[in-house]
């Protein structure tokens, strides 16, 4: 099962569970049925947006490892050029 199929399956499961609660197919206490179930999609959307903003902020906060990643990437490029030149491939040089 691919990642997309898994995501679609989970989304369909959650939406069918929500619709069963919304249309009162699944028995819930009256207070939950009238006060929580109707606003649950908005709560889920706000929670998901907050999570994404946190992930974005955390990514910006921990952005300081770029020089090390640049050095590592340049080393890997040089190793790849060396391997390709050893096999007779002209890769050109900067």
Strand runs (DSSP E) across the chain, as ranges?
A: none
pLDDT tens string 17-36: 999 999 999 899 999 999 99
**Residue 93: pLDDT above 90?**
no
Looking at the fold, whether 6 and 42 belong to one and the same domain comes out as no
Determine the Cα–Cα distance for residues 85 and 78; give it in Å rounded to an integer: 10
**Count of domains in the chain?**
2
Looking at the fold, whether 50 and 15 belong to one and the same domain comes out as no
Global pTM value: 0.59
Residue reference for tokens 């990642």: 3
Say if 93 falls within a structural domain. Answer: no
Q: How does residue 94 score in pLDDT terms, banded at 50, 70 and 90?
A: low
Looking at the fold, whether 80 and 52 belong to one and the same domain comes out as yes
pLDDT tens string 61-71: 887 767 788 88
What residues contact 41, with CB distance under 8 A and at least 6 apart?
18
What residues contact 81, with CB distance under 8 A and at least 6 apart?
91, 93
């Amino acid at each position: 099962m691919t990642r997309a199929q898994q995501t679609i399956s989970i989304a369909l499961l959650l939406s069918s569970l929500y619709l069963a609660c919304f249309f009162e197919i699944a028995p819930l206490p009256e207070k939950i049925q009238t006060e929580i179930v109707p606003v649950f999609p908005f709560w889920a959307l706000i929670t998901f947006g907050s999570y994404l903003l946190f992930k974005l902020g955390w990514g910006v906060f921990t952005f300081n490892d770029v020089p090390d990643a640049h050095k590592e990437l340049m080393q890997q490029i040089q190793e790849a050029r060396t391997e390709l030149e050893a096999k007779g491939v002209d890769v050109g040089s900067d």
